[in-house]
Structure 1
Amino acid sequence: MHHAYVNPFTVLSLAVAILGAWTALDLFNRTRSHTGAARLRWLGVAALALGVSIWSMHFLAMLGFHVEGPVSYDAGLTLVSFLLATAGTAAAFLAAGTAGPAAWRLAPAALLMGGAIVAMHYVGMAAMRMNATLTYRPGLVALSVVVAVAAAYAALIAARQERDRAWRGVAAVILGLAIVSMHHIGMAALTVTANAGGAPVEGGASPVVLAVAVTAGAVTLLFLAVGASMADHRANVLAAVDAGGVGFWEATLPMKAPVMSRRAREILSIDPAQRLGPSEIGDRLSPEDLPRHRQALEQAIAGSGEYDQEWFLPGSGRWIHLRGRLIRSRSGRPLKMSGVITDITDRREAFAALADSERLQWLLINELNHRVKNTLATVQSIARQTARRTPDVATFTTLFEARLLALSNTQNLLTAGNWERVDLRAMLAQELAPYAEEQVRLTGPDVDLNAQQTLGMGMVFHELAVNAAKYGALANATGCVRVDWSVTDRHLLLDWVESGGPQVQPPQRRGFGSALIESTVNRSLGGSAALAYLPEGLSFSLRLPL
C-alpha cells in the first residue's frame, strides 16, 4: 500500500521537539538549586516537558502519514504511548540526577530513556486503526533503537553541563533533530500491506484540527513549564536577597505601584497585605528630602546614572540605603526601575557613636593635658613652699614626700570617681585613717566635691592632720579631732575642732600649712577659711561654695 509524508507536519513536529528539548534542559538545570522533595518535583517537571514534546512530535509527524483509506487511533494505546514517553524520561532524568560525574555512568539512564522513546513510537504505531497490516524491517528498527539511545545519551550529557544559553540552544537543536530522525528511521522501517476485503474503518478528525490541538496543547504546556522555571528562579534570587537582609523593589515605567519583597516591606514598615501605591518610598521621606529624592529618580530614569541615595525615615526612625537601575528593552526604550533597599540604621548609629567617641577622646586628651599641667604646677608650688621653710635637705625630703603622698591619695580618690565627684567623708576618712578610731569623729551629710575642690581640700586636710599629729590633739592618746559639716544655701560649712591634746601656743611666724590653706580656700576655691589657735585646741572653720 502506498504511504507518504506531508512536509508541514514534519516541520511542525521538529519545532515542537526542539522547543521541548530546550524547555527540558532549562527545567533540569533548575534541579541544581533544589534538594529533597523540591528537586524531585523539578526532575518530574523536566521529564514531563521532554516526554510531552517527544509524544507530541510523534503524533504530529503521524498526522503527516497518509495511506489509502481512513485512519483512526486507539485511545488506550495512545495513552499508553504517552505514559511510556513521560515515565521513561522521568526515570532517566532521576537516574542522571543521581549519577556520578563520569559520563559513562549515564549509560543506564540513556538506555532507559532510549528504550522508552522507541516503545512510545511503536506502541503509538500499534494504536493506528486502518484496513492494512503493519510490518517492520528489523535492520532499520535496530537502527532506530540505536539513534534513540544515542539521542537520549546526548540529552542527558547536555542536561548535566553548566553552560550558557547558546550552548543550550545548540544542544536543543541537536536533540530535537535526533528525536525526529529516530522517528523517521522507524517510519522508514514500516511496510503497510492492505487487507483485502477488510471491514471499512471510519475516518477520525481532520489532521489539521488534530495538529492544531496537539500543537497548541504541547506548546502551552511547555511555555507554562518555562514560566514556572523563571518564577522559581526569581523566587530563589529574592529569597537569597532577603536572607542577606536586603529588600528588592521593582517598578514599571512610567512609575507605577512597585513590587516589593517581604524584606523591603519590613524595612519600610509596610504590612505584607497592604496594596502599594506609586510613591511608597517618597511618602515616607521628610519634606526636606523629598525634592532631592525626586530629582535623583528623574536623573536615573533619564539614564544619567544609577539611583544611589541614603535617606532617613522620620516615621520609623530608620536610615535606608536605596539603590536602583534603569532596565531598557533591546530597542533602548526604558521599561522599569529595579533595585534593592537596605536598612543601614545600625551603620549610621555606629558612625555617630564613633564620631562621639572621637570627640570625647579629644576632650579627654585636652582635659588630661590640663590636669597634668595643674598637677605639675601644684607639685612645683609644694616644693617651693616647703623649701622656703625647712632648715635642711633631710627635713625637706620628709615633708615633701608626705605632701606628695597626700596629693597622690587625693588623685586616687578622683580616679575612683572617674575624675568627676568625690565624697567628702571618704576623703576625710582616708586622711585620718592612720590614727586611732576613737580619736576621730566625723559628722555630716553626704557631700560630693568636684575635681578641683577635691585636689584643694585634700591638701588642706593633709596639712591639718599633720599639724594635729605633731602639735595638736593627735599628738597624744587622749586627744580628739572632731569634724562637723553641713550644707546651707549651696555652701559647705565645715568645722575642724581639736581637743584633749597639748596646750596650743599661737605660732610666732606663718608656716607653709597656714599659707597653703589660705591660698587654696580663699583664692583657688573661692571660699573663706579661718584658723583659731585656742589653748584647748586648734579650730578651723570653712565656708565653700558647691
Structure 2
Amino acid sequence: MGLSIWSMHFVAMLGFDPGSAVRYDPFLTVVSLLLAIGATGGAFFFAARDGARLAHVLLAGAAMGVGICLMHYVGMAALRTAVSMGYDARLVVLSLAIAIAASTAALLATRREQAFFWRLIAALTLGAAIVGMHYTAMAALELTPAAEVRMDTFGGPPYMLAVSVAGGTLLILLLALMASLYDQRDNVLSALEAGGVGYWELDLRSKSLHVSARGKEIFGLKRDDEITHDQFLPSVATEERAKRDQGFESVLLTGSDYDDEYRLADEARWVNVRGRVLKDGRGRPRRMIGVVLDVTDRHEAFAAVTESERRQRLMVNELNHRVKNTLATIQSIAAQTARRAATPEDFRRSFEGRLVALSETHNALTRGGWEVACLRELFQHELGPYSEEQFRLEGPATPLGPRQALALGMVIHELATNAAKYGALSTPAGCLRVAWAVQADAATLAIEWSEHGGPVVEPPSRKGFGSRLLHLSIEKELGGQAELRYEPDGFVCSLVIPLADMKTQASGAKDFAF
C-alpha cells in the first residue's frame, strides 16, 4: 500500500512541468518511500488489531494522513530544478486535512470488509484521499523563476525514475497478489485440517503425489514422508485395488468427478477419496486435486446397525418359536394333568405346580439372557421348600442351553413332586441326594437322583404323567437316556444327556456363576 501511494505521487509528477529540467535527489526520494510505507502499514496494523476501538481508528487515520502528507512534501523537496518553489500555507493545511479525513474514512470502511461493497468503498475512499491530497498540495505550490539559481546535475532523470517506480510497483503488487493467494490456500488447508479432511494433489504426468499432513495421517504415513502415486498404492487393501484402479481410469477417460471408498491395507480403516481432473489448454488431463476423509466410523456404525438388525430378526424368530413351544407344552401339560386328575381341585393343584416350575425355568433362562441357565439353580428352586437336612446337591454350576433347561426343569419338578408324595421327602427321616457331573470327554452330562430312608417304593403298575414326561423329555427331546430303578433303599433315577448342542463356551463352566 505504501509503495502504491508513493508510486502514484511520482507518476503524477511526470505531468508537472516547472519550465526547466527536473531531477530527483535519491536520498530524499527513498525517505519519502519509507514515510509512505511506515504511515500506511502502521495505520492499518494498529486499526485492524483485536480490541481496536473507535479512538484507535481515529488516531491511526490521523497518523496515516500526516504520513501521506509528509511523503508528498519530502518527495517535492527531492525535486531539483532551476525554478524556486514555495507553498501557500492555507492549501498545505487543507491538503493535510483532506489526507487525514480520507485516511480515517478508509480505515473505518476497512473495518467492515466482510462485504464486497464496503471493500470497494474503502478502496475508492483511499484513492480519493491520495489524489485529493496530492493535487491540493500541488495547487499550494508557488513557482518563481530564478535565473541565478544553479541547476544541480546530481540526481535521477524523471523518466528513468518513472520506469523504476512503475516496475517496482508492479513487482510489489504481484508479490502481494501471490501472498494473498497463498494466504487463501493456507486458510483452506487449515479449514480442511480442522474438519479432519486431508488434501491431495496428483501430477498425472510425473505421478508425483502431494498429500497434506492430515491426509498422510489418515493413510498411516508420517508427516515428512514424500511419496509417489505408485508408492501410495500398497496402502490400499489388496482386494480393493482393482476396484480403485478401475474407478480411477474411468475418471481420466470421462473427466467426471472421482468419488470412491475403499479399505486400507491394515484392514481396520476405511477412507473416502474424492477428486477432480484439471486439464491443460489442449483438453488433456494434467493433474487431479481432491480430499480424503476417514469414514471408518461410518462403516463401523453401518456394520453395527446391520448386526443389530440381524440379531433383532433372530430374536423375533426365536421368540415366536419359543412362544409356540411354550404354548404347546402348556397344552400338553393341561391335557395330561386333566386326564389323570380325580377332582378339579387335584387338577388345579397339579397344573399350577407344573406351570410354576415352567415359569421358574424361564426366569432362570432370562437371567442368563436366554442363552444359558444354571443346573444347580433349577435343583435349588424345586427343593427349596424342603428342609436342607433332607437333600444334598453335589455338582458344579453347569450351564445349560434353553432347550436342555426347559426339558430338565419340568423333569426335576416331576421328580421332586413324586418324592414329596411317595418318596424320601414324604417323611422327616427321608433323604435325597442329587449328584451330577460332566463326563471326561465333555460330551455328556450324567445326573443321579437317589432317595434313601423313605417309604418302600414299588414299581407302578402303569406309567403316570411324570414317567411319560421324563422319558419324552430326556429321550425324545434331548436324545439322552433315562433309567428308573426301584431299589430296596429307595427310588433311583439316572439320566445321561448329550452336551454336543448346548450353547456353552469353552470356558463357560468356570465363568458361569450364580
TM-score normalised by L of structure 2: 0.86
> How far apart, in 1, do the equivalents of 2:265 and 2:308 lie?
25
Matched, 1:516 2:483: no
Q: Give the conservation status (yes or no) of the 8 Å contact 1:136–1:191.
A: yes
C-alpha distance in structure 2 between counterparts of 1:298 and 1:167, whole Å: 47
Which of 130, 143, 146 lines up with 1:179 in the alignment? 130
Provide, for residues 258-316 of structure 1, a one-character-per-residue CA deviation record: whole Å limited to 9, x for no partner: 33221111111222112231345544334554344344334434554211111111246
Corresponding position of 2:308 = 357
1:159 aligns with one of 110, 117, 122: 110
1:114 is matched with: 65
Structure 2 CA distance, aligned partners of 1:508 and 1:435?
A: 28
Shift of the alpha carbon at 1:55? 1.8
Query: Is 2:399 aligned against 1:448?
Result: yes
* 1:428 maps to which of 375, 379, 383: 379
Cα shift readout 1:136-166 (whole Å, capped 9, x = no counterpart): 2345435533543454245335534446779
Q: Which residue of 1 aligns with 2:77?
A: 126
- 1:312–1:99: structure 2 CA closer, same or farther, 3 Å change rule? closer
Deviation at 1:243, TM superposition (A): 0.9
Which residue number in structure 2 is paired with residue 544 of structure 1? 497
Counterpart check, 1:246 vs 2:246:
no
**Offset of 1:330 from its aligned partner?**
9.1
Does 1:309 find its partner at 2:254? no
Distance in 1, matches of 2:367 and 2:24, equals: 103
Is the deviation greater in 435-444 or in 285-294? 285-294
Asked if 2 retains the 8 angstrom alpha-carbon contact of 1:74 and 1:129, the reply is no
What code does the residue aligned with 1:71 have? R
- Tell me by how many angstroms 1:65 deviates: 4.4
Indicate whether 1:475 and 2:426 are aligned. Answer: yes
Give the distance between the partners of 1:163 and 1:523, measured in 2 at CA: 84
* DSSP 3-state at the match of 2:460: coil
Secondary structure class of the residue paired with 1:192: strand
Match of 1:235 among 175, 186, 194: 186
* Aligned counterparts, 1:388-403, within 5 A: 388-403=339-354
Output the amino acid matched with 2:472.
Answer: S
Q: Is the 8 A contact 1:70 1:204 kept in 2?
A: no
Q: 1:377 aligns with which of 307, 310, 328?
A: 328
Distance 1:487 1:118, change over 3 A: closer
Answering whether residue 7 of structure 2 is matched by residue 56 of structure 1, we say: yes
Deviates more, 1:279-288 or 1:464-473: 279-288
- How do residues 268-287 of structure 1 correspond to structure 2 at under 5 angstroms? 268-279=219-230, 281-286=232-237
Kindly provide the amino acid, as one letter, of the partner of residue 481 in structure 2: S
Distance 2:279 2:117 in 1: 22
Q: Quote the Cα distance in structure 1 between the aligned partners of 2:286 and 2:119.
A: 27
Cα displacement (A) at 1:340: 1.1
Over 3 Å counting, the alpha-carbon distance change for 1:336 and 1:103 in structure 2 is: farther
What residue is the counterpart of 1:418 in the other structure? 369
SS for the counterpart of 1:55 is helix
Distance in 1 between residues matched to 2:318 and 2:494, nearest whole Å: 32
Please say if residues 260 and 274 of structure 2, whose CA atoms lie closer than 8 Å, have aligned partners that are also in contact. yes
Is the CA contact (8 Å cut-off) linking 2:202 and 2:209 kept in structure 1? yes
**Structure 1 pair 251/140, CA: closer, same or farther in 2 (3 Å)?**
farther
List gaps (5 residues or longer) in structure 1.
Answer: 1-49
Deviations 1:220-276 (A, max 9, x none): 233223322221221121111111111112234547423322111111122211223
Q: 2:24·2:157 contact (CA, 8 Å) conserved in 1?
A: no
Secondary structure of the 1:258 match is strand
**Any idea what the Cα deviations from partners look like across 1:354-387, whole Å, max 9, x if unmatched?**
1111111111111111111111111111111111
Q: Out of 5, 13, 23, which is 1:71 matched to?
A: 23
Q: Distance in 2 between matches of 1:474 and 1:283?
A: 75
Give 1:432 shift. Answer: 1.1
Q: Is the 8 A contact 1:99 1:106 kept in 2?
A: no
Alignment match, 2:38 = 87
**What per-residue deviation string (whole Å, max 9, x for no partner) do you get for residues 111-153 of structure 1?**
4322321222112212334454311234543553354345424
Say whether the 8 Å CA contact 1:385–1:512 is kept in structure 2.
yes
Matching residue's letter, 1:464 = L
Task: Tell which deviates more after alignment, 101-110 or 311-320.
Answer: 101-110
The alignment yields a C-alpha RMSD, in angstroms, of 3.2
| Partners of 1:291 and 1:268 in 2: CA distance | 18
Q: Deviations over 1:36-75 (max 9, x none)?
A: xxxxxxxxxxxxxx12211232234445645525634162
1:496 aligns with 2:449: yes
What residue identity is the alignment partner of 1:229?
A: S
Correspondence for 1:204 among 146, 155, 158: 155
User: How many correspondences in the alignment?
Assistant: 496
Contact 2:110/2:118 (<8 A) preserved:
no
Asked whether the equivalents of residues 248 and 341 of structure 1 are also in contact (C-alpha less than 8 Å), the reply is yes
| Greater mean deviation of Cα atoms: 415-424 or 232-241 | 415-424
After superposition, the C-alpha distances for 1:56-114 in whole angstroms (9 at most, x for unaligned) are: 32234445645525634162x44443343233323432454369999999665444322
State which of 468, 479, 489 in structure 2 corresponds to 1:526: 479
Q: Per the alignment, do residues 313 and 99 of structure 1 end up closer, same or farther by CA in structure 2, a change over 3 Å counting?
A: closer
For residue 542 of structure 1, give the secondary structure of its aligned residue in structure 2.
strand
CA distance in 2, matches of 1:146, 1:445: 102
- Distance in 2 between residues matched to 1:474 and 1:456, nearest whole Å: 23
1:464 aligns with 2:415: yes
Identity %: 47
Alpha-carbon distance between aligned partners in 2 of 1:537 and 1:100, rounded to the nearest angstrom: 98
SS at match of 2:248: helix
For residue 502 of structure 1, report the CA deviation from its aligned partner.
2.2
Give SS of 2:229's match: coil
8 Å contact 2:200–2:292 — kept in the other structure?
yes
Q: CA separation in 2, counterparts of 1:445 and 1:468?
A: 23
